[in-house]
């Protein structure tokens, strides 16, 4: 039986040549390729500056630290997300206040945010789940009215367009991930956008130990003379070897996005005939289609897991995005949200599953997924 993996990277001779050239150049850490990668990402996101970092998690942490968010502060976000979203809030010493998501989109509910704002709230951290945009217009109005920062975890959302504009060009800050399975991928990597020039300058320094001159700048003839540590920082810079891969993947991004859309159209068509499943909802503006996550209409996690097992028996690799974070044993004591307190997140977390959706999928693999889904659901009905 042929296996259709949940993810497989798409690359060719261009990526191999780009990484080989970086290797041969002798410049392996942050250098000219990182600068070019930042420039090209910023251009795609509407101009200005972007900071390339070592991971999406680092981009998130740097975004909070550069805004001075720390002990005594609260950040409002969701439980239906990857652990990094909440982990960084805890790591900087702030409190993560979790609110529920909207039923249809699985994205943060602006009304729930409004109800959770208190005197210590500093920021809203929205997550564009699976590349589906949050209601940024409503969130921004709320943030402006209440004097809060509007930040987004845009790990799934390179190329997402919200009702306020392109993700990365709206709000006060966006953190992107280029982890191996993301829409734009370079193995491990991330990108940070900050609207405030002072926060951006702080993030630039903090990205590399708070050092006022990075290795590339030290190559300008002055060497190590006069370098200073102007604030405590992180070790979060991107390497040129990684940026080389990112640059080659950027060249393919439009074609990869188009391929994702074609696969989504085929899955939509198949799901129209499968009444046991609820298809993903449609935003009015651009979905980046990082994930395609239908929901099982009836039943709970056991039914969903049985369906994933039935698909696995037919060679199809699926995933779950996400088991809500307030249910995780190591986080629950710090999140103060008992089971049952975020019902929509819990219901979606129990009923949704993500099908393979990556541009390397061939047409016959997509058909294998569809046939496996139809067969597994027939089996479930019996």
Ligand X SMILES: Cc1ncc(COP(=O)(O)O)c(C=O)c1O
What residue ranges bind ligand X (CB under 6 A)? 55-57, 81-82, 84-85, 127, 153, 155-156, 177, 179, 190
223-258 burial by CB neighbour count: b if 16+ within 10 A, else e?
eeeeeeeeeebbebbbbbbbbbbbbbbbebbeebbe
Give the torsion sign (CA, 134, 135, 137, 138). negative
* Cα–Cα distance measured from residue 308 to residue 254, given in angstroms and rounded to the nearest whole number: 31
- Shortest separation between residue 174's beta carbon and ligand X, angstroms: 11
* Cα–Cα distance measured from residue 157 to residue 125, given in angstroms and rounded to the nearest whole number: 14
Of 152 and 271, which has the nearer Cβ to ligand X? 152
- Shortest separation between residue 54's beta carbon and ligand X, angstroms: 8
Longest dimension (CA), the chain: 75
Among all residues, whose Cβ is closest to ligand X?
56
The residue with tokens 């019996």 is: 382
Of 27 and 176, which has the nearer Cβ to ligand X? 176
Nearest CA-CA partner of 357 in 284, 273, 259, 271? 259
- Shortest separation between residue 45's beta carbon and ligand X, angstroms: 17
Q: Could you tell me if 125 and 152 are in contact, meaning their C-beta atoms sit under 8 angstroms apart?
A: yes
DSSP-derived pairing of the beta strands 95-99 and 161-162: unpaired
Q: Which of 33, 128, 135, 182 is catalytic?
A: 182
- Shortest separation between residue 84's beta carbon and ligand X, angstroms: 4
**Looking at the DSSP assignment, which residues form a beta bridge with residue 101?**
108
Question: Of all helices (H) and strands (E), which one includes residue 77?
Answer: strand 74-78
Q: Could you tell me if 240 and 22 are in contact, meaning their C-beta atoms sit under 8 angstroms apart?
A: yes
Q: Does residue 235 carry a catalytic annotation? A: no
Of 127 and 149, which has the nearer Cβ to ligand X? 127
Of 293 and 376, which has the nearer Cβ to ligand X? 293
Of 55 and 276, which has the nearer Cβ to ligand X? 55
- Shortest separation between residue 178's beta carbon and ligand X, angstroms: 7
Residues assigned a catalytic role: 182
């Amino acid at each position: 039986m042929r296996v259709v993996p949940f993810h497989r990277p798409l690359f060719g001779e261009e990526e191999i040549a780009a990484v080989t050239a970086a290797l041969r150049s002798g410049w392996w850490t942050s250098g000219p390729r990182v600068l070019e990668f930042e420039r090209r990402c910023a251009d795609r996101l509407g101009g200005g500056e972007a900071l390339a970092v070592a991971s999406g998690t680092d981009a998130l942490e740097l975004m909070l630290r550069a805004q001075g968010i720390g002990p005594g502060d609260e950040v409002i976000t969701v439980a239906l997300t990857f652990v990094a979203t909440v982990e960084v809030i805890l790591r900087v010493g702030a409190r993560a206040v979790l609110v529920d998501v909207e039923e249809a989109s699985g994205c943060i509910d602006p009304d729930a945010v409004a109800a959770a704002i208190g005197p210590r709230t500093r920021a809203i951290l929205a997550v564009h789940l699976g590349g589906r945009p949050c209601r940024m217009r409503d969130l921004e109005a709320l943030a402006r009215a209440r004097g809060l920062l509007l930040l987004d975890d845009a790990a799934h959302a390179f190329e997402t367009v919200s009702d306020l504009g392109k993700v990365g060009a709206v709000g006060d800050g966006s953190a992107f991930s280029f982890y191996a399975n993301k829409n734009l991928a370079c193995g491990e990597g991330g990108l940070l956008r900050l609207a405030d020039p002072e926060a951006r300058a702080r993030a630039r320094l903090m990205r590399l130990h708070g050092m006022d001159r990075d290795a590339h700048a030290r190559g300008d003839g002055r060497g190590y003379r006069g370098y200073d540590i102007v604030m405590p920082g992180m070790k979060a810079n991107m390497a040129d070897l990684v940026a080389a891969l990112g640059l080659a993947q950027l060249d393919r991004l439009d074609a990869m996005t188009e391929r994702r859309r074609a696969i989504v159209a085929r899955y939509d068509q198949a799901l129209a005939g499968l009444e046991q499943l609820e298809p993903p909802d449609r935003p009015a503006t651009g979905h980046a289609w990082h994930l395609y996550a239908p929901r099982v209409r009836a039943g709970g996690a056991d039914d969903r897991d049985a369906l994933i097992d039935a698909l696995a028996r037919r060679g199809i690799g699926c995933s779950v995005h996400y088991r809500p974070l307030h249910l995780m044993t190591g986080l629950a004591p710090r999140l103060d949200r008992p089971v049952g307190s975020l019902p929509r997140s819990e219901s979606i977390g129990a009923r949704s599953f993500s099908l393979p959706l990556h541009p390397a999928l061939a047409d016959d693999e997509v058909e294998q997924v569809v046939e496996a889904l139809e067969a597994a659901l027939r089996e479930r009905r019996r």
